[in-house]
Amino acid sequence: MAGSTADGDDDGPGQEIRLVHSGELWVATDVETGVASQDETREVALENLDDALTLHQNEGDAIDSPEAEREVLRDLDIGPDEVEQAREETDELPAFMQ
């Protein structure tokens, strides 16, 4: 099952989102940017897409240095040992971190 919506307003065309049920997951994709997210429910897939679009559009704080990374991790209460352990457990970064 697939669908798409466009939320228009008086200022011009709206954002088009494609929502596809694939297996056990809902995949939400912003048509213009190609940014996508998924979850077992439509609602969470769309919420995750909102978060991903915010990061994609650099509306959030950029993590562009080791100092910025340490600050974000400190704010999230994630210690350096946890980061090191996670890096040792996997040698492949997610695509958005490469």
Structure confidence by residue, pLDDT tens digits, 32-51? 999 999 999 999 999 999 98
pTM as predicted: 0.51
Q: What is the pLDDT of residues 83-93, one digit of tens each?
A: 788 777 776 65
13-39 in b/e form (b: 16+ CB < 10 A) is: eeeebebbeeeeebbbbbeeeebbbbb
Give the tokens for residue 72: 């974000």
CA distance 86 to 84: 5
